[in-house]
Amino acid sequence: MMSLIPGPEDLYLFHEGNLFRSYRMLGAHLAESEGERGVRFAVWAPHAREVRVVGDFNCWDGSGHAMNKVSTWGVWSLFVPGVREGEYYKYEIITSAGTLLYKADPYAFWSELKPGTASRICSLDGYEWTDQEWQSRKTSQSVYRSPLNIYEVHLGTWKKKPDGAYYSYRELASELVDYVKEMGYTHIELLPLAEHPYDRSWGYQATGYYSVTSRFGTPKDFMYFVDRCHQAGIGVIMDWVPGHFVKDEHGLRQFDGQPLYEHSDPALAEKPEWGTLAFDFSKPEVVSFLISNAMFWMDMYHIDGLRVDAVASLLYLNFGKPRGQWVKNVNGGDENLEAIAFLKKLNRTVFACYPDALMMAEDSTAWPLVTTPVDAGGLGFNYKWNMGWMNDMLKYMETDPYFRPASHGLLTFSFMYAFSENYVLPLSHDEVVHGKKSLLNKMPGDYWRKFANLRVLFGYMMGHPGKKLLFMGGEFGQFDEWKDLEDLDWEMLGYDSHRSMHRYVRDLNQLYLRESALWELDHQPEGFAWIDPHDQRQSVTTFMRSSGNPEDVLVIVCNFTPVYHAKYRIGVPFAGEYVELFNSDAGEYGGSGKLNEGILRTEDVPWHDRQDSLHISLPPLAAVIFKPVKIKRKRSKTTTRRGKADA
């Protein structure tokens, strides 16, 4: 059982910013004293005059349960006998000014269901995990040379029951996991799961960083969900928000009557764009709190990785602030030096314990070396969302095909920097909400052309170097943008066009899993080569992807206009025979059915700076993928004794 008082070594490390599992020391933990079971409470509140524990067990009267200050820097602790799992509690804090505050536990493992705001006693021990095969497989595979195709999900609106009730974690462990497996995704990315008071914050404005939201069940229900994902071969990534927190009274804001988790200077604390508060990374205890939280989700819930939200807001002091509110660091610059140091420390710590973790930066800046190890001068993430690619591609796809030739650079520019970081190509929730329209409805043209445009976008995305992410609903062409209080428009699958799109995405995902050329060298220039980036007039791009086997190549041709080319010549890497491996214009996908059937044989016609070429049928608004099935070995030129070349 747990000791009744936090140990001096843990206290020292916590106040130094180096206690990376501080959730074991702080919070509410089952303990035993002189044969009597109860709970040991511990909380950091250095500015408080007094701290008491209130809850069901004392009728919310803290007069008999004052906590003891056990460290000079403000950790308070108390053992309360007889308290049982499931009971509600808060901290009653008497501030230095004599004000009475009632605060939820920052380290609570379970929270009262909204609109309630209390914490709940909860032990996370005792769940029997059955994901050993998954964990073993993770350690034996390189995350960089493996397929990574992410389905981004908001659990509250993926699917709801007829009466509007949420599906529970255990119900989602069947419904959602089976669906993701069938659709060919490798990972689920969940919008933030930390407890949050307001549904429409989607979890990005949390009050309980250690509490998996009670909207969908208990902590052990969520363990079951993750376990079921792993049994199905699906990884779990969670959106994680270390940049800011909500101002609700029961949360972290002025926790002990003064700024504690936030900076004391409002110019540094306020996030005016979001109406939230920034963490103060200059406080070692805040660093311990946040790094421990990242470790907590991996330790206790077997989360496979974190997508770190809004990294740009961490890197720069003045992110989202009007010019009149700008501040400078000690060097006179805009960089948030303490936050940068925190990110590096975070990634070093996570990878020291979980070398196969996914640490993904959602970063919209041009900050260099985001996915370079800390020891080599980088921030230490192993993936970064490619926001530049996303913005360029959506801008291009929203352009009428007639005008696309003038924007051809938007298609090709991303290849100039595709290997500067380890990228994920995201089509995320942020792009289909707040009036931005759904992916399908962004596409120009009539009904048929909208679907064809979306198919070619997805095909181009799958061929482009980088791992993949798609937000829920995009896979069947949701016509309305994401309605964040309602579930997806699953009834659309009753219509042919949406059903065909759904089948297309499933088949495209399955193709991705089968073809190692699409992912094995995602982050190396050797895995990509242009065949023709210059057909601006016809808005066509042609390129190759290859795996570690130089003969394992795919030729990808994308036509971004509704013009059909019955004879389109492309240069190819090898002479021989090719087959059409995939065509987004196939009839079963809602296309016009203009396919390249049978064996395609190369001609000895130089094209695109290559010795051999193919004539193909290039459908309108389509992505077509070819693969060599028989390579013809040509005799290389040899030198005779007389020094002449024989062909």
Pairing verdict, β 383-385 and 358-361: parallel
Distance CA 132, CA 154 (A): 27
Distance CA 119, CA 78 (A): 16
Structure tokens at 589: 């996908």
Instruction: Please answer whether residues 81 and 57 qualify as being in contact, where contact means their C-beta atoms are separated by less than 8 angstroms.
Output: no
> Dihedral of the CA atoms 68, 72, 74, 76 (nearest 10)?
-20
581-598 residues labelled b (16+ CB within 10 A) or e (exposed): bbbbbbeebbbbebbbee
Residues 376-383 have a mean pLDDT of 98
Percent of the chain with pLDDT over 90: 94
Distance CA 116, CA 248 (A): 12
In the predicted structure, residue 634 carries a pLDDT above the cut 90: no
Catalytic residue among 362, 392, 522, 612: 362
Q: Strand 244-245's sheet: what is its strand order? A: 244-245, 276-278, 270-271
Tell me the one-letter amino acid at 388: G
Distance CA 305, CA 426 (A): 16
Instruction: Compute and round to an integer the Cα radius of gyration of the chain.
Output: 28
Supply the DSSP string of 173-238, one letter for each residue. HHHHHHHHHHHT-SEEEESP-EE-S-GGGTTSS-SEEEEE-GGG--HHHHHHHHHHHHHTT-EEEE
pTM (two decimals): 0.95
Distance CA 105, CA 115 (A): 16
How many helices (DSSP H) and strands (DSSP E) are in the chain?
14, 31
Q: How far is CA 555 from CA 256, 544, 584, in A?
A: 62, 5, 14
What pairs with residue 239 in β-bridges?
307
Instruction: Please answer whether residues 568 and 616 qualify as being in contact, where contact means their C-beta atoms are separated by less than 8 angstroms.
Output: yes
Distance CA 405, CA 601 (A): 30
362 is catalytic: yes
Give the rounded distance of the alpha carbon of 23 from its chain centre.
Answer: 24
Give the rounded distance of the alpha carbon of 481 from its chain centre.
Answer: 20
Helix (H) or strand (E) holding 288: helix 284-301
Tell me the one-letter amino acid at 328: K
pLDDT in tens, 570-593: 999 999 999 999 999 999 999 999
The pLDDT mean for the chain works out to: 95
309 is catalytic: yes
Instruction: Please answer whether residues 464 and 414 qualify as being in contact, where contact means their C-beta atoms are separated by less than 8 angstroms.
Output: yes
- Domains of the chain in start order, with CATH, are 8-120 (2.60.40.10), 148-377 (3.20.20.80), 525-631 (2.60.40.1180)
Half-sphere exposure of 562 (CA within 13 A, CB side): 19
pLDDT in tens, 476-535: 999 999 999 999 999 999 999 999 999 999 999 999 999 999 999 999 999 999 999 999
Instruction: Please answer whether residues 637 and 647 qualify as being in contact, where contact means their C-beta atoms are separated by less than 8 angstroms.
Output: yes
Main-chain dihedrals φ then ψ at residue 219, nearest 5 degrees: -55, -40
Give the rounded distance of the alpha carbon of 384 from its chain centre.
Answer: 9
Give the SS3 label for residue 383.
strand
pLDDT in tens, 421-461: 999 999 999 999 999 999 999 999 999 999 999 999 999 99
Q: Of 384, 366, 350, which is closest to residue 316 (Cα–Cα)?
A: 366
Residue 236 CB neighbour total at 10 angstroms:
24
| Confidence band, pLDDT 50/70/90 cuts, at residue 642 | very low
Distance CA 103, CA 113 (A): 16
| Confidence band, pLDDT 50/70/90 cuts, at residue 641 | very low
Give the SS3 label for residue 596.
coil
Helices (H), 490-620: 496-514
Catalytic residue among 221, 309, 475, 522: 309
Distance CA 214, CA 219 (A): 8
Q: Of 174, 203, 187, which is closest to residue 237 (Cα–Cα)?
A: 187
What pairs with residue 111 in β-bridges?
119
pLDDT in tens, 531-572: 999 999 999 999 999 998 888 999 999 999 999 999 999 999
